[in-house]
Amino acid sequence: MTLTSNVTSLKGVGEELAKKFASLGVYTVGDLLEYYPRRYDDYSHVLPINRIKPGVVTIKAVIKQAKGHFVRRGMHITEAVASDETGSVRLIWFNQPYRAAAIKADSEYYISGEFALKRQRLSIQNPSVELVSEFPVNTARIIPIYRETRGLKSAQIRRLIRESLPLLPSYTETLPAWMIEEQKLIPKAAALRTMHFPGNTDELVEAKRRLGFEEVLELTLAALLNKYELMQEHAISIPFDQGLAKEFVSHLPFTLTDAQKKTVWQIYLDMQKTQPMNRLVEGDVGSGKTVVATMAAVMAMKQGFQVALMAPTELLARQHAETIHDLLEPLGQSGHVTLLVGGLKPKQKAEAHKRIKSGDVGFIVGTNAIIQEKVDMHKLGLVVIDEQHRFGVDQRKALQAKAGHMPHVLSLTATPIPRSLALTLYGELDISVIDVKPAGRKPIITKITSPNSRKALYEKIDQELADGRQMFVVTPLISESEVMPARSAEEVYEELRTKAFKHRRVGLLHGKMKPQEKDDIMQQFMRHELDILVATTVIEVGVNVPNATVMLIENAERFGLAQIHQLRGRVGRADYQGYAYLMMGDSSEPSRRLRALESSTDGFELAELDLEIRGPGAIYGTMQHGQLDLRIAKLTDTKLIAAARSSAQAFIDKGENLVQYKHLMNRVSRLRAVTNLN
């Protein structure tokens, strides 16, 4: 048996169990050894029976015998008595009839479980028991708990990993010797053994440090290699035209913030180079990223280049096209904007293709279909990507093939990303931050509300609607679910339409609708043919309805902090005051996350808090990035991240060859190829 052997080579693993392992991403014995625990239970403190107190305990004792019997309603109980030289204690298992036959009478066991009062008698309930040995697997130590699946439990996984441990010495070290010595890291094989069977918590800390360091190193190396490769590519220099920039700004109905000016200048400097720009602009909801992107676009268009803007949804693409049309109109360039999305009629699409090919249009707005369809770009100079932060190698090559050279790339995101996370995730990108809202934009007033005050809240909202404003209502579900007790869009829509707001015009929007249907409903809301729009989070990104001032989020406790911040950014986008009401599912105490939303409207501050409370996944929700893949490293561990980044740079500076480190090369190659644009 080797590390590359199928898991079926392990004793007791047949085809059925192998399928269950496959569902967890485990196919080989090596995969199993790198299947890390999700948490640990500490059963390492073995006490004499006369010293145990209620709570989780571990003892070393002799079990005389175990007996099982059925009680009322078919419940099966197995009972036994465990004894050591200091006393005895009762053991009890519920609905585990196999226990009695499995226990060897008069044998010494390690026993771990909850010592508690049950039916007026103290006992250890549903304990794990294991014959005393030099290497206990399920008791008398820090026990790893794994992500399980039906029919595959942690105890089975532990047994099979224990069986695989003799293969660990055959692990080839994955990092250079100089790096291990410099960073004082333990060997990979030792780290893997400790992750599964730690001797103590200090050992576990060292193992996690070693494996976490490697994870961040892989990400950083992938990003740096992408960056250096891109720097070798040739882009066409787009010179800065001061007169054009001044003319554009003079027609704006508002004053650019200092943060916008700084970001635009960074972009202009990038575009003048013959190396392709690869910049990410982070800006909170409503910070003015579209204006910045359009200012970059006019400079490219002035030189006869085309600009392509890609949005994640057709709805957002249409909205961008309208906004950009309005921004370019004073310059007499609005006719140079064209929309290219799947929802166009064949005739419209053919006409768009023709105009793009001829160079008649300078600004193409659409979804990523722009690069997937047979679109013949006339002279592509700049690509703007909205809410898709990593623009992959394959997409660049596709555009390069269309343009004949590497275009400049500008990415936009309304998800404020803490700096530590942004640098780790997107190390190949230069990052600009727009951290100031335009002058005059009023902060959204956010209030947590309990279901008991729903009637009073509806009366307050109705007054807002009577004044001519509009409201979004967002729910976590489309339709009712037995699994998740929460309000659904369909249920709330019917309730508002027929009861509380039957005198208002109510619409429904969710992800299962056809694109045209969704677009029609949204257009009705934008034209104020609807007063209330009940929706799922389909409206989270980018939707702009200046007349909407109220955002009511049902079951707010079920949404992530960053997600709610995005949602409330949909209101208060004009001169009117915006309100966000976070309706709880019940009257329980609101979480720290929800309280933070009441007190802060700073997306970057909230993102840092979300990272601290819930980890990186919270910032991205389900996050399309398979590339994050940090199972051990914590992005709040700035010392570890700095050390890994420094080592990644040193690896490149020393001229190290990845081919010499096969495991590292495979991981880095996979990370380099990852893209969010599928």
Does pTM surpass 0.85? no
Whether residue 379 is predicted with pLDDT greater than 60 in this model: the reply is: yes
As a CATH number, domain 445-600 is 3.40.50.300
Which whole number is the average pLDDT over 4-18? 94
- Range list of β-strands (E), 584-636: none
In the predicted structure, residue 624 carries a pLDDT above the cut 70: no
Residues with Cβ within 8 Å of 247's Cβ and at least 6 positions away in sequence, in order, are 331
Residue spans per domain, the chain = 45-140, 445-600
In degrees and rounded to multiples of 5, residue 494 shows phi and psi of: -65, -40
- For the chain, what is the radius of gyration of the CA atoms? 30
Q: How far apart are CA 202 and CA 205, in angstroms?
A: 5
Residue 371: both structure tokens together: 């690069």
Instruction: List pLDDT tens digits, range 148-185.
Output: 998 899 999 999 999 999 999 998 899 999 999 999 99
Per-residue model confidence (pLDDT) at position 397 = 66
**Cβ density class 202-238: b for 16+ within 10 Å, e for less:** ebbebbbbbbbbbbbbbbbbbbbbbeeebeeeebbeb
Q: Fold identical between 45-140 and 445-600? A: no
Q: What is the per-residue pLDDT for 482?
A: 53
Alpha helices by DSSP H, listed for 233-302, are 242-250, 258-271, 289-302
User: Does 516 score more than 50 pLDDT?
Assistant: yes
Position with higher pLDDT, 105 vs 370: 105
**Residue 122 pairs with which residues in a beta bridge?**
117
Q: Is 136 exposed, middle or buried (0-12, 13-18, 19+ CB in 10 A)?
A: buried
- Taking domain 45-140, whether its CATH number is 2.40.50.140 is answered by yes
Question: 290: helix, coil or strand?
Answer: helix
For residue 92, the model assigns a pLDDT of: 94
Q: Is it the case that residue 423 has pLDDT exceeding 80?
A: no
Checking phi first, is residue 386 left (phi over 0); if not, alpha (psi -120 to 50) or beta? Answer: beta
Q: How many angstroms separate the CA atoms of 396 and 380, rounded?
A: 12
